Structure formats: structure tokens, C-alpha cells
Chains A and B, each alone.
Chain A
Amino acid sequence: MNGTADMLKEDADFFSPNGKTVLLVEDDGTIAEEIAAELTARGFKVLHEATGDAGLEAALRLEADVMVVDRLLPGLDGLSVIETMRQQGIRLPALVLSALSAVDDRVTGLKAGGDDYLTKPFAIEELVARIEVLLRRPDDTRSTKLHLGPIDMDLIERRVWRDGREIELLPREFRLLEYLMRRPGQVLTRSMLLEDVWQYRFIPRTNLVDVHIGKLRRKIDGPGEEPLIESIRGTGFRLRVPD
């Protein structure tokens, strides 16, 4: 856990949460306290509200950079908070937390205007990783070429090079690498990769994503080359940005 924080501190020049404010709307005191403590430890500022109405008011004050909102709240529920906010034209990125795990619950949450969705119980690492991704919009420029350190990617011809050496990738490996290259330096969890690269919402076994990343890593990081894809214990993976 602390390992991640240290790594993030190393990357402070590239991305720092310092000064970023998270609006947390959660009625369960214990969970709110845990989340707030973790986020504060990582350099975020946390505004905590325990009801939907107070959360909406805080969101409208435009003091936060990202919002984490529980779905079931006393008074106004989480989805209504987001819907009202969106109707007022506020684009504050929002992550929905929910204890409901209905098959189409996630879809409802995203339709209401949420940007991401996390089902309880969740690992705090997962929440933090998703908050960071929300704070930094991925580089989805329309350019046909991606470039990151020694890696070049041609999206039209579906070809990848490292320092001029062409790497043969299977379609799924190409998709995975493209996803990582658009989010350099960010911690990406297994479930984020499954949801976004494969569009799956379940994890039949824990090492599924690891095996895919492992295969990609063996192709990208040749012998003697500086490893670019890092595993972050207990959380997920990160594409390092070389100095």
C-alpha cells in the first residue's frame, strides 16, 4: 500500500494529486473515514458530506476536482445528485459507489451521468486508482500515432516499435498496450483493464489479467532493456514513463 504512495511521490513531477480536491458523499461514517484518511495520505484534499442534498450543494460550489458519491444516501440518492448536477451543466467527474450489484446497475449508474462505477466491497487501492484516472483524462487525441519514451505505435497500420525494433503483437496485446500508452504513469487495476480492454465485468480468476500483461511485457521489454510495464503489488499495473 505504502509502496504505491512512494511510487506516486517519485512521479510527482509527472502527476501530483497535491491540491486536488475530492468531494466524498458517503453516509457511512466508518467507510468515509477510511477513504478520507487514505486520500489525505496521498496528498488529496477531502471534502466530506453525509447526505445527498449537502453533497449536491458542495458540488455546485465548484470547489472539488472529482466527486465520489454513494448510491444509497439519506434524502437525495447518489444518482439524483449526479443527474441534477449534469442538468446544471456541471462536468465534475463522478465515481459512483454502490452496494447494489444488479446486473444492469452499473449501466444505470453510467447512464445517470456517472463516469465510473465501483461495487462495494472494494479495495481502497482500486478506488484511488480510479479517482486518479478520472482526474486525468486519457490522451484520446485523434492522432494516428502514439509515442511514449522508446515506444512508437501506429494505430492505422497496427504496428509497434521499441527503439526502432518492430514488435509483433496479437490484436488483444495491441489493444492492451494502446490502453496503457494512453494512460502513462497511471496505476491501472485488473478490473479496470478487464472492463475497458475486454468489456468484461467479472473476474473468473485473479491471474487472468496478469497472464496477458506478462505476455505483453515479455514482448515489449526485451533482454537488457529497461522494463516499462510495472506490477504494483495488490493493485495492478503501470506503464512507466522513462526519464
Chain B
Amino acid sequence: MFLTELFRTATFRITLMALAAMAGVMVMQFGLVYAQLEAVESRRSTELLKGEAELLAQMSPEHLEYVIRRRATDDLRLIINSAGLFDSGHALIAGDLRTWPKGLKADGKPHNVEIYPEEGDSYPLRVLAEKLPDGTILVLGRSFYLLSEQKLMLRHTMLVAAIPTFVFALFLGIVLSHRALSRVKEMHEAIDRIMAGDIHERLPAAKEWDDLERLAGSVNRMLDRLERLMDDMREVGNDIAHDLRTPLSRVRARLERALSTGTEPEALEATVGRAVDDLDQCLGIITALLRIAEIENSRRKAGFGQVLLADLVADVFDLYEPIAEMEDKVLVAKEGEAPCFVWGDRHLLIELLANLVDNAIKFTPEGGRITLGSQRINGAATLFVTDTGVGIAPTEREAVLSRFYRSDKSRHVPGSGLGLSLVCAIAHLHEAHVTIETGAEGIGTCFRITFPSAFLQKVEDCT
């Protein structure tokens, strides 16, 4: 069981590959040494045979014969293993080469020939035959014995070196693979626990020393993010349930009462009318939520184009001025000195601004003043809506941008509590920032949408 798992680990497979590579390199190295050894020995033999032949050729024939005879018992045999002096008919005059080697030419060059002695096996010999001035032929031979010895030694060395190396590497590979396997196994177990529903479980990542731990760390961070998103979703789900339960309970109570009391047709009609209004509020909440989700998930910017902020301001002012007037509030549109163009979806940006103005009108008391406009601040295009209303405490500013948040001051004001979430979603799609500041002269609130300069750049490229 362990072995099959072992073969399936990446570490062990890498070990085997490394071993194969090592073996390859070793074979190549030895091959090279082998070839070098042969070449060196061959050169050396040639030089020795030629040098010796040259020396001997300068001797008188009598002296040469004497030297050749004496060579049989001489230390020189270690270097020139065989020697022979033959007459022109290839008959031996003196020396330890009994017969003329088969196929040997007397051309003064070394040749590798097979020697067949009277007793024993044949053996190879590097032989040089030189014709002397008196017609005799001097034959000198050097055996391959030394080279074979060296080669044998090399082979032994290779085996002695390679086997422990391979065994050690394999052992190390198995140990490392086993360690990796046990860590991966721990991770698998942790993932199984997460899959079984324990979303707080995390993979063992220790201090993220190595790549496996760093990977586990990344997965853990991803799980953290997912857990946060799930919490958010759960929260939103609870909020929806909570926000829908109130109007739905009212509908139910009204209809039940109407059923049990069996009232007049007019009263019944009024009850049904109110029930429809309550249901409309529920549907409004659902629609707003779907719309936010849709904008948040929208990666498409199909409706994007060049938008002049002053036009948006004029449109929204046009739409809301009568409302403000009716509620005895003043709505003012201010145009910045420089025209501000942004890259965006006109419909969505109008919706954003309308939501902000709508909120500002809601939270400004009678006689108050709401100002909307566009201006350029430090080169960035901005939209702003300022009111002289109740204001938002600095501690609450972050929270009001989240879904369903209703500050205590706004409990009595009707609405789904989703207007600002929608504003944030639209701003986010445009990579714009929503900031909440204190209004002019320290009263009320100022909502500011700051567009990124990259979008401005895009606009300038188009103009």
C-alpha cells in the first residue's frame, strides 16, 4: 500500500528522475575517461616504439643482435614487451618474437596485430617493423596489458562509487517522499474535514518555510476570505429575512383579521390595498438586493462611455427639484469651473446620484439645503451631495455603507436601507471611492464620489 502511494508522489518521481540523470552523467564521464585512456596509451606506445626503434637502428648489426638477445632478460621488457630481429625472408635472427606476426608490414608505423604463440592463447600486440640498412628487419612490440589493467581498475572504481551513491540517493528519495506524503496526507485530511462542514478548519502551514507550506498558507487565506464571504451572505440572508418578516407579518395579521371579522366591502378593499402596499415593500427590498448583486457581479462595462458629470447633475436636479420644493427644502446644483468627464455608465451614475440626493432630501429637515455638483479635486473628477441634515457620526460612517444599516436617527424614515449599498456597488464598478465627510460649516453630511484618474485618461484618449 505504502509502496504504491510512494510511486505516486511527486518527490519520489523527481528522485527517480534525478537518479536516471546521475546515472547518465556517470556513464558519460566514464566513457570519456575510457576514450582518453586509450588515446593516451596509444600515443605513448607509438612514441616508445618509434623512439626505441630509432635508437636501435643506429647500432651496428652485431651490437643490435646482442642487444636484442639480451633484452629477453632485461628490465627494458617492461616497456618494450617483445622484440625480434628478422632477416629479409621474415626468419628470426634473434629475440623473443618466435614468428613473424601475421599481416605485419615493415613500414616503420605501429600496427595492432594478433600474436599466436606456440603455447597458450593469442593476444593483441602493438607492433612496429623497421627495415634496417643491412636488409634485416627490426620488430618491436608493446602489449595492451597495462591498458587493460587500467580499464579494469576504472570499471571497479565506477561500480564501487556508483552503487553506494545510487542506494543512498534512493534511500534519501524514499525518506523525503514519505515525509512529503505524510504532509500531503495531513492536508487531505484537513480538506476532508472542511468538506464535511467544518469551515473553521485550516491546512497545516506552520511558518511557510517551503513551497508546500506556502501553498497551504495561500489556501488558508482563500478559505478565510470564503468564510468571511459566507458570513456576509449569512448576515445578508438574516437581514433579508428580518426586513421581510415585518411587512409580511403585517400582511398576514391584516388578512387574518379581515377573514375573522368579515367586515364591510369598503373596509375589506382598504385591507387588501394596504396588504398590496406591504407586499410591494417586500418586493422592493428583493428587487434592490438583486440589483445590487447584479451590479456587484457585473464584470461587463458594455454601457460605458464618456459622461459629462455636469449633465448628470443637471438631470438629477431636474428630477428632484420639485420634490425638495414640495417638502420645503432648497435644492441647489453647482457646476465646477472645469468640465469633468468620466468613463462610465450614464444610467447607473444617474441612479447613484439620485440615490444620494434622495437620501439627502430624506434626512434634511424643512428649510434645509441640499447642494449637488461636480468638481475637480487634485486632477480627479468628483461628484458631491451635501446636506444640512442630522449628519452621520464619524464612527458610523463606515457602517452606513453596508447593507441594511439603519442608524438610530433614521429608524423612522421609510426605505429599504439599501440605497447606499447600491451607491457603493455602482461606485465600485466605476473604480470610484465613496467618502463621507462633514458638511459645509460643520453641519450635515457631504457624500463624495471620487473617480480614478485612469478613467479620465481614457476619456482624454477619446477626445
Interface residues of A (CB under 8 A from B): 101-104, 119, 121, 172, 198-202, 204-205, 207-208, 211-212, 214-215, 234
Tell me if A211 and B323 are in contact (CB < 8 A).
yes
Cα–Cα, bound, A63→B439 (Å): 62
A-B contact pairs, 29 of them (CB 8 A): A101-B287, A101-B290, A101-B294, A102-B294, A103-B294, A103-B295, A103-B303, A104-B302, A119-B287, A121-B283, A172-B318, A198-B319, A199-B347, A200-B319, A200-B347, A200-B351, A201-B347, A202-B351, A204-B351, A204-B355, A204-B358, A204-B419, A205-B358, A208-B319, A208-B320, A211-B322, A211-B326, A214-B326, A234-B273
Docked-complex contact B322 and A212, CB < 8 angstroms:
yes
State whether the Cβ of B83 lies closer than 8 Å to any Cβ in chain A. no
A-B contact count (CB 8 A): 50
Is A104's CB under 8 angstroms from B303's CB? yes
Q: Does B200 touch A at the CB level, under 8 Å?
A: no
Among B4-26, those with CB < 8 Å from A are none
| New A-B pairs, 12, CB < 8 Å, besides A103-B303, A198-B315, A208-B323 | A102-B294, A103-B347, A103-B348, A104-B303, A199-B347, A200-B319, A202-B351, A204-B354, A204-B358, A211-B323, A214-B322, A234-B276
Q: Which residues of A contact B319 (CB under 8 A)?
A: 198, 200, 208
Task: Kindly name the residue among A172, A204, A234 whose own CB sees the greatest number of chain B CB atoms within 10 A.
Answer: A204
Q: Which residue of B lies closest to A122 (CB)?
A: B283
Q: Cβ of B318: which chain A residues have Cβ within 8 Å of it?
A: 172
Contact check, A101 vs B291: say whether CB atoms are below 8 A apart.
yes
B298 touches A215 (CB 8 A): no
B354-A103 in contact (CB<8A): no
Within the assembled complex, what's the spacing in Å between the Cα atoms of A207 and B323? 8
Chain B residues lying within 8 Å of A212, measured Cβ to Cβ, are 322
B411 at the A interface (CB under 8 A): no
Please report the C-alpha to C-alpha distance between residue A205 and residue B323 in the assembled complex, in whole angstroms.
10
Which residues of chain B are within 8 angstroms of A103 by Cβ–Cβ distance?
294-295, 298, 303, 345, 347-348
Top 7 A-B residue pairs of the complex, sorted by shortest distance between their CB atoms: A204-B358, A211-B322, A204-B354, A211-B323, A215-B322, A202-B351, A121-B283
Q: Which residue of A lies closest to B281 (CB)?
A: A206
Does B43 reach chain A (CB closer than 8 Å)? no
Does residue B169 face the partner (Cβ distance < 8 Å to A)? Answer: no
B223: chain A residues at CB < 8 Å are none
**Closest residue to A201 on the B side, CB-wise?**
B347
Bound-state CA distance A167–B387 (Å) is 33
Residue of A nearest to B355 (CB): A204
Q: Chain A residues near B358 (CB, 8 Å)? A: 204-205
**Bound-complex Cα distance A102 to B293 (A):** 10
